[in-house]
Structure formats: C-alpha cells, structure tokens
Structure 1
C-alpha cells in the first residue's frame, strides 16, 4: 500500500498538485471580528486580500485538537501508512498539538501508523517538502525513504521573501510602529527568511521594489551556489500579485536557467500576517543526492 501524505493549508500548494498526488489538507483557522473561517475551504485568499486592502484585520489560529482527532482516527481505522508534514513549530503550535493528539489516539488504536514531521518551513517552502514526499509516495517509495528525504529538505530549504507594506508585520509584532511608519515613507522593502529553527527573522532592508527583487536573486546565488539551481523545482508565491510573481520567475529563468516552478497565491494562514503584495522564493541550498 502506498504511503499517504497529509499536510495543512499553510503549505500553499496549488489545487492541481493536491489533487494529482491525493494530498489531504487540514485547514488552519482564520478569523475577522467574530467570524471564523477554514483557510481555502470557507474563505478564499483573494477575498481576504481585498478586505485587507480596505483595512479589515484578519487573525489566524492553529488547527484545533478535534480536527486532528477526527483525521488520525480515520487513518487508524483505514490502516494507511501516513506521514503528516506540518507547518513550522517555530511559527505555530500545530506540530506540538498534533503530537499530543497522536499519542492519545494510539492509546485506543495501537495500529496507528503515523509519522509527524516538523517542516520548520512555511508556505511553498513547506509545500515543496509536501510535493516531493507525495511524488515519492506515488512512485512507490517506502516510508523510510520519504522520511530520509524530508530530513534533507527540512535542513536545506531556503525561504527568501519581501512584503509590500510593513503595516502587516507591525500587526503581527515583527516590526515596531516606528519602523513600519518610516519604512512606508522611505519605500523600504524588508527581506526576511526562515532560519533552521523554523522561526521568522528580518535579513536585510532594501529601498524600492526593483532593487529588492534583484537582491533576492543575488541571495539565491549566495545561498544556492552549490545546489544546482538550474535543475531544482523553484517555489514562488505571492500575496495577490501574480504579475510580480511572474516577473520574479522570468528573472530567475534568465539568470539561472531554471525551468521547473511551483507558483501559487499565498493562502490565508500566511497571508493574514504578510499582507497583499508579498513575494517569496524557495529553493535548496545543497544539491540532494540521486536517491531522492
């Protein structure tokens, strides 16, 4: 029996990939005022971004225990060998909650065959791990082979992104009110990344949109110089800015000769904190072995 891949909506993979590789997704909760939604189920990212441009504030919360209980019990009853790849523990409590619920389910279903992997990643950086695992599962690779690959990807995936408006990072506590105000006046575009511990950190500040995109490409070369960028699957996603994402793709094609891309809009789980106009690029900083 093929290994089943389970993930959550923060992986931001396109629907066609989820369907082709039969990837199950648990939705992260999104709310505004007293209304609660399921990311990409009962709220569409485009709707959220339009609202945010009009001043609406969205918040997010982790997947509740009951959702894990229902899904893990379903897995136990089906007897499927499953890997749940989840949103970074450095950015959400989802990973720890899933471990607690799995242990609880195992007390009732000793046959539960479920490994849980902390992606220490977000958005399509996280999605590339899920995508690769699902491809290997479809090819009939064993759980041990997939888990070995995931160990490598977790350790070597790079996240480079910029936001269009510092106000959203201020609301999330990532920058001060003064930084957000001055950044807006001076057209400062921060470059942020996710280090190995899976948290979020500011990396650099660049003035102007074109300069920040060029700097993102330079960072790709600095961090991915030994990783054979040309033959990688490169992830790109955007906060309702497809034009910007396609421009970034074209720049990467011209500079590095890359041909394989996963491009998608950032879902509500991430976009509620990064805001409209966010652009991200994801790649490996080391070349994986041929066995992957």
Structure 2
C-alpha cells in the first residue's frame, strides 16, 4: 500500500543507536527535499557529508549537487550501501549522514553522528 501511495518513511538513528521512524512523506521528490532540510537543520554545514544509495546513483548525485550548491564548504562523498543494509531497505534508498553541530559545553559532541534515510 505504501508503495502505491508513494509513502516514504523517514528514519533516523537515535542517541542510543536505534533506528527510529521520525515521519512519512508522500513522494520521492519531497522525501529527497526532506533529507536536504534535515542536513540544514542539524549540521555544522561545513563538514563531511556521506550520501548512501541503494542502486540509485543519479538521485545520490542530484542530492550531492544540491548540498554543494547550498553549502559550498561541505565535502560530499557518495557510496552504495552494502548488502546487509540493502537487504533491509531494498532498492532506491537514499541516506545522508554527517557530524552534527550540537556540542556539550566541554566541547565533546552530544550527538556526534546524524543520519537520516528515505
């Protein structure tokens, strides 16, 4: 049913390391837009960005280009997901992962690694 309606789950990794659903978006274009928005809200905007894909390199390239245009200081790497992740997500999965901007007062990262996926 979700496939027919083009409903895409938005997943994140919690502070405890668990995969959690944080929302649903209708349509692939909107889901990809949400990945860019997630990066804008949670990143330092100048660091390393990892874009993972499940056999959809053109979408990964497009997202990478949008990140670079909006955040010129970001360094973007693109990689296919491995078979273990791919077995759980299926084809056409996109993810964005980066070091977050949130830090503790002592300078340590409170939530050092953010990841979101559709």
TM bin, normalised by shorter chain, reads 0.7 to 0.9
Report 1:123-272 matches (<5 A): 181=1, 183-224=2-43, 227=44, 229-230=45-46, 232-272=47-87
Aligned-residue offset at 1:259? 4.4
Q: TM-score by structure 1 length? A: 0.34
Aligned-residue offset at 1:258? 3.9
Instruction: Report the counterpart of residue 48 of structure 1 in structure 2.
Output: none
Taking the aligned partners of 1:279 and 1:256, their CA distance within structure 2 comes to 19
- The structure with the largest strand share of the pair is 2
Contact 1:239 1:275 (8 Å CA) reproduced: yes
Taking the aligned partners of 1:216 and 1:242, their CA distance within structure 2 comes to 16
Return 5+ residue gaps in structure 2 as ranges.
Answer: 108-118
Q: Does 1:276 align with 2:91?
A: yes
Aligned-residue offset at 1:193? 0.5
What RMSD over aligned residues (CA atoms) do the two structures have, in Å?
Answer: 1.6
Which one scores higher on RCO, CA 8 angstroms, separation ≥ 6?
A: 2
Report 1:79-90 matches (<5 A): none
Aligned-residue offset at 1:220? 1.3
Contact 1:252 1:258 (8 Å CA) reproduced: no
Q: TM-score by structure 2 length? A: 0.80
Return 5+ residue gaps in structure 1 as ranges.
Answer: 1-180
Aligned-residue offset at 1:242? 0.7
Report 1:55-74 matches (<5 A): none
- The structure with the largest helix share of the pair is 1
When the two structures are aligned, how many residues end up with a matched partner? 104
Is the partner of 1:197 in helix, strand or coil? coil
